């Protein structure tokens, strides 16, 4: 059949797409290299399928749906339609051209641990995007993990609905032979073992045992593969959990702060005597004031108790949500390195008791770091992606631990928020460690974030 397809090289599809090199095919269709666009033609791939093939109409509908998707780790479909070459009537899809896929690499060598993680991470993020759209991939395998430049992307020309039965299960399909997120996790586990060992792990589809995962797989990939390949779909890890295992929360290195470290303990010794002396002095002055005349008292009040300045009027639209301390910081995400905003630490009034003063000060952000998000990733957002990160703050204001509290629909943006949260700093509280929730919001225009106390 390859000889028949090669004769089509040089043909034109609907007067738009010139068929260049034949890339591969089967009895029902073929893939050719082509070019897309007139002013600045870009290299593309075009898939042709005979329109009388089984499920050709359904396939065309899936292509049309996939052409509406936009994600940095999904192969884009530019155009779909019907065409005729000679007497053959076909359906077609024009998509991004991938220089290679993992099936071209695995026969020659196994991937390293870092390469495997580099392939797994974007795949997890793309799958999270598909699930948010209400579909599953259904065909995770090395041939469908493709490379375009330095980017790895999943194919999009064979998506499925969750719950759809797999007519003829293959080596990568789950034992339940049903399309689902858990089924994608199983296929991902088979693929992970294959790219690390150059072979599909042996298992009996009709038996009860689970695939044999080699003990030689590096951590944490060994544990991930085993939990992907649980025969009971309910026991398999989710893609969000796998993403968290790949990028576990790690305490950010603490910067040296000799001034805070040396001074804070000393203050704790003389603070209580100082408060006692201050209270005694206030009592003595109060008795003197009671013995003065009303006029004298009034005059003394004018001299010794300056009026508290009235707060400046608040600008329309600037009110912060009542539970947020401090107000949201709406710094627009800039390209390049992560943005850092420094806020001076205010001195709490003497009238505030110690406990209240510490609580107020500990809510003040002195360094805010926003995620460094590539613009092409921002362009994939529709609406707002919200992520919550829980951080532990020590008495000096340093973040000592950070975990994902609410990942939102994308593990990609959740991990970016997690990395940024580890670099935040708060005003010193000179008290026990406390928890904060950092709320990150991503839109096509950029990212913003604010902090709020963690619920008990």
- Residues 337 and 437 placed together within one structural domain of the fold: yes
**Per-residue confidence (pLDDT) for residue 426, from 0 to 100:** 86
Q: How far apart are CA 342 and CA 417, in angstroms?
A: 18
- Residues 186 and 242 placed together within one structural domain of the fold: yes
* Average confidence score pLDDT of the chain: 78
Whether 331 is covered by a domain: the verdict is yes
Bridge partners (DSSP) listed for residue 357? none
**Per-residue confidence (pLDDT) for residue 12, from 0 to 100:** 87
Residue 29's SS3 state is: strand
**Per-residue confidence (pLDDT) for residue 275, from 0 to 100:** 44
For residue 26, give the CATH number of its domain: 3.30.200.20
- Residues 63 and 122 placed together within one structural domain of the fold: no
- In tens, the pLDDT along 234-267 reads 999 999 999 999 887 655 555 444 433 333 444 4
Q: How far apart are CA 431 and CA 444, in angstroms?
A: 40
Say if pTM beats, i.e. exceeds, 0.75: no
Q: How far apart are CA 35 and CA 432, in angstroms?
A: 63
Whether 284 is covered by a domain: the verdict is no
- Closest alpha carbon to 381 in 102, 156, 69, 23: 69
Token pair in block for residue 305: 């108790």
- Residues 75 and 170 placed together within one structural domain of the fold: no
Q: What is the mean pLDDT of residues 308-314?
A: 41
Lowest mean pLDDT among 65-69, 139-143, 314-318: 314-318
CB under 8 Å, gap of 24 or more: what pairs does 338-342 form?
338/369, 338/370, 338/371, 338/372, 338/420, 338/423, 339/368, 339/369, 339/370, 340/367, 340/368, 340/369, 340/423, 341/365, 341/367, 341/368, 342/366, 342/367
- Residues 336 and 456 placed together within one structural domain of the fold: yes
Whether 297 is covered by a domain: the verdict is no
Counting the structural domains of the chain, the total is 3
Sheet containing strand 446-453, edge to edge, reads 399-406, 385-393, 434-443, 446-453
For residue 134, give the CATH number of its domain: 1.10.510.10
Q: What is the mean pLDDT of residues 335-363?
A: 40
Lowest mean pLDDT among 12-26, 200-214, 321-335, 369-383: 321-335
- Residues 162 and 81 placed together within one structural domain of the fold: no
- Residues 111 and 223 placed together within one structural domain of the fold: yes
Bridge partners (DSSP) listed for residue 33? 45
Domain boundary among the residues 96, 123, 147 is at 96
Whether 271 is covered by a domain: the verdict is no
- Residue 178, pLDDT > 90, answer yes
What proportion of the chain, given as a percentage, has pLDDT over 90? 45
- Residues 62 and 111 placed together within one structural domain of the fold: no
Token pair in block for residue 354: 């110690």
- Residues 220 and 158 placed together within one structural domain of the fold: yes
Q: What is the mean pLDDT of residues 402-421?
A: 86
Lowest mean pLDDT among 33-42, 251-260, 404-413: 251-260
**Per-residue confidence (pLDDT) for residue 359, from 0 to 100:** 45
- Residues 116 and 241 placed together within one structural domain of the fold: yes
Supply the DSSP symbol for 233.
G
Q: What is the mean pLDDT of residues 117-132?
A: 95
Domain boundary among the residues 226, 246, 266 is at 246
The parent domain of residue 111 ranges over 100-246
- Residues 451 and 340 placed together within one structural domain of the fold: yes
Give the Cβ contact number of residue 91 at 10 Å: 20
Q: How far apart are CA 183 and CA 16, in angstroms?
A: 38
**Per-residue confidence (pLDDT) for residue 251, from 0 to 100:** 52
Most confidently modeled of 246-250, 299-303, 345-349?
246-250
- Residue 422 host element (H or E): none
Whether 273 is covered by a domain: the verdict is no
Lowest mean pLDDT among 11-15, 70-74, 142-146, 200-204: 11-15
Whether 264 is covered by a domain: the verdict is no
- Residue 327, pLDDT > 60, answer no
Residue-by-residue DSSP string for 125-141: HHHHHHHHTT-B----S
Q: Residue 441: CB partners within 8 Å, gap ≥ 6? A: 384, 385, 386, 387, 447, 448, 449
Whether 54 is covered by a domain: the verdict is yes
Domain boundary among the residues 212, 246, 280 is at 246
Give CA torsion, residues 371, 373, 378, 382, to 10 deg: -30
Confidence of residue 140 (pLDDT cuts 50, 70, 90): very high
Q: Tell me how far the alpha carbon of residue 59 is from its chain's centroid.
A: 30
- Residues 447 and 344 placed together within one structural domain of the fold: yes
- Residue 410, pLDDT > 80, answer no
Q: How far apart are CA 416 and CA 387, in angstroms?
A: 10
Whether 302 is covered by a domain: the verdict is no
- In tens, the pLDDT along 145-176 reads 999 988 999 999 889 999 999 888 999 999 99
């Amino acid at each position: 059949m390859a000889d028949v397809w090669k004769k089509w090289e040089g043909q034109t599809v609907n007067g738009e797409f010139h068929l260049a090199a034949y890339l591969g095919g089967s009895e029902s269709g073929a893939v050719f290299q082509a070019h897309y666009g007139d002013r600045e033609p870009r290299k593309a791939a075009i898939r042709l399928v005979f329109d009388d093939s089984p499920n050709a109409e359904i396939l065309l509908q899936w292509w049309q749906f996939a052409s509406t998707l936009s994600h940095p780790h999904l192969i884009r479909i530019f155009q779909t339609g019907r065409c005729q070459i000679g007497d053959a009537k076909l359906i077609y899809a024009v998509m991004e051209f991938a220089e290679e896929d993992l099936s071209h690499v695995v026969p020659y060598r196994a991937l390293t641990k870092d390469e495997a993680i580099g392939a797994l991470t974007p795949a997890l993020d793309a799958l999270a995007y598909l699930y948010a759209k209400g579909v599953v991939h259904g065909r995770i395998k090395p041939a469908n993990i493709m490379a375009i430049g330095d980017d790895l992307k999943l194919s999009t020309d064979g998506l499925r609905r969750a719950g759809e039965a797999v007519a003829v299960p293959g080596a990568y399909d789950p034992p339940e032979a049903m399309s689902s997120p858990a089924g994608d996790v199983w296929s991902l586990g088979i693929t992970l073992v294959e790219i690390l060992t150059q072979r599909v792990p042996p298992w009996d589809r009709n038996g009860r045992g689970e695939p044999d995962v080699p003990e030689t797989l590096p951590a944490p990939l060994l544990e991930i593969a085993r939990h992907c390949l649980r025969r009971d779909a309910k026991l398999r890890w989710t893609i969000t959990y796998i993403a968290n295992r790949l990028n576990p929360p790690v305490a950010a290195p603490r910067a040296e702060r000799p001034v805070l470290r040396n001074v804070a303990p000393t203050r704790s010794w003389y603070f209580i005597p100082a408060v006692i002396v201050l209270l005694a002095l206030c009592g003595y002055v109060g008795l003197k004031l009671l013995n003065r005349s009303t006029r004298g008292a009034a005059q003394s009040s004018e001299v010794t108790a300056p009026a508290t300045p009235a707060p400046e009027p608040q600008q329309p639209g600037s009110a912060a949500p009542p539970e947020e301390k401090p107000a949201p910081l709406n710094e627009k995400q800039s390209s390049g390195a992560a943005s850092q905003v420094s806020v001076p630490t205010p001195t709490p009034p003497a009238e505030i008791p110690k406990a209240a003063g510490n609580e107020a000060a500990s809510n003040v952000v002195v360094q805010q770091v926003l995620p460094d998000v590539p613009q092409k990733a921002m362009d994939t957002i529709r609406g707002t992606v919200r992520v919550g990160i829980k951080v532990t703050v020590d008495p000096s204001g340093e973040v000592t631990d950070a975990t994902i509290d609410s990942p939102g629909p994308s593990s990609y943006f959740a991990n970016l928020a997690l990395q940024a949260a580890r670099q935040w700093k708060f005003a010193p509280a000179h008290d026990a460690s406390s928890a904060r929730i950092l709320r990150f919001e991503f839109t096509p225009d950029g990212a913003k974030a604010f902090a709020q106390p963690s619920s008990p």
